[in-house]
């Protein structure tokens, strides 16, 4: 009997194509070996994530749980959507080069993200916690970001260069997590307009946790505050 090895399905293959490639490989092995094989072919990215009970608004840490130097508020839905776009350096309606680096749009009709923001007026720094539902694994996001270290972003006639560097150390407590440093440098404007962000991203079930410290100009992000709020948010989602 000839042994047939199925070719691994690449992460870039589309869903339907990957399904049929996997099914064809299993069918060919069954025919060539003339023996039954138990199990059902499953596309590599088809991972059923556990749905976390409770709405995102209920799972979001309350402003009282933010560090005292960051008085916080919970944003209304429309403002939350805009804030989420600002934190990835792109924003709604922007064009991105390379095109494949364009962040995915939220699913129509899906649960809107829940966002709380704390502000340190003295340092012009913000601390943002975002909860969203996502079927994308954090490992898939990590792989995409590795291929998008630098992006050219254009929105409303203004351009900027967005640079993203993944940290080697990752935060603990979530099912999976990454940490990154991101800078957004406008094509026109002074050095004081440059944004620098330290972000921890984690997943618990189908809930994605994103915690970001953002500063302007020469200011450095508050990594201790990010670590603190990430741990606080993980506990809040786990408790939900």
Instruction: Render each residue's pLDDT in the chain as its tens digit; 240 residues.
Output: 444 444 443 434 444 333 333 333 333 333 343 343 333 333 334 467 999 999 999 999 999 999 999 999 999 998 998 888 788 888 878 899 999 999 887 777 889 999 999 999 998 899 999 999 998 999 999 999 999 999 999 988 889 999 999 999 999 999 999 999 999 999 987 667 899 999 999 999 999 999 999 999 989 999 999 999 999 999 999 985
Angle at 150 between CA 186 and CA 207, to 5 degrees: 100
Domain that holds residue 27: 1-46
Q: In this structure, are 31 and 103 located in the same domain?
A: no
CB 201 within 8 A of CB 229: no
Q: In this structure, are 42 and 68 located in the same domain?
A: no
Q: In this structure, are 199 and 84 located in the same domain?
A: yes
Please give the torsion angle defined by the CA atoms of residues 93, 95, 99 and 103, in that order, rounded to the nearest 10 degrees: -40
Tell me, what DSSP letter sits at residue 157?
Answer: T
Q: In this structure, are 16 and 67 located in the same domain?
A: no
Contacts of 20 (CB under 8 A, 6+ apart): none
Q: pTM value?
A: 0.79
Residue 206 lies in a domain: yes
Please give the torsion angle defined by the CA atoms of residues 8, 12, 14 and 20, in that order, rounded to the nearest 10 degrees: -10
Cβ-in-10-Å burial (0-12, 13-18, 19+) of 110 comes to: exposed
Q: In this structure, are 82 and 33 located in the same domain?
A: no
Residue with tokens 């069954």: 30
Residue 51 lies in a domain: no
Number of domains in the chain: 2
């Amino acid at each position: 009997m000839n042994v047939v090895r199925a070719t691994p399905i690449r992460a870039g293959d589309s869903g339907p194509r990957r399904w049929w490639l996997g099914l064809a490989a299993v069918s060919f092995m069954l025919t060539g070996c003339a023996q039954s094989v138990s199990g059902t072919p499953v596309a590599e990215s088809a991972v059923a994530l556990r749905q976390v009970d409770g709405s995102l608004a209920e799972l979001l840490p309350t402003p009282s749980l933010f560090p005292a130097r960051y008085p916080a508020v919970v944003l209304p839905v429309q403002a939350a959507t805009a804030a989420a776009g600002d934190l990835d350096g792109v924003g709604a309606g922007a064009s991105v080069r390379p095109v494949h680096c364009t962040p995915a749009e939220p699913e129509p009709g899906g649960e809107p993200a829940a966002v709380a923001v704390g502000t340190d007026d003295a340092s012009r720094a913000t601390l943002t916690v975002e909860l969203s539902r996502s079927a994308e694994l954090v490992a898939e996001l990590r792989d995409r970001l590795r291929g998008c270290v630098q992006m050219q972003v254009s929105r409303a006639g203004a351009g900027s260069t967005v640079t993203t560097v993944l940290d080697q150390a990752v935060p603990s407590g979530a099912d999976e997590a990454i940490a990154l440093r991101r800078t957004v440098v406008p094509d026109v404007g002074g050095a004081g307009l440059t944004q620098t962000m330290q972000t921890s991203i984690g997943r618990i079930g189908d809930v994605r946790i994103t915690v970001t410290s953002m500063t302007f100009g020469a200011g450095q992000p508050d990594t201790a505050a990010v670590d603190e709020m990430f741990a606080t948010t993980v506990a809040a989602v786990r408790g939900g």
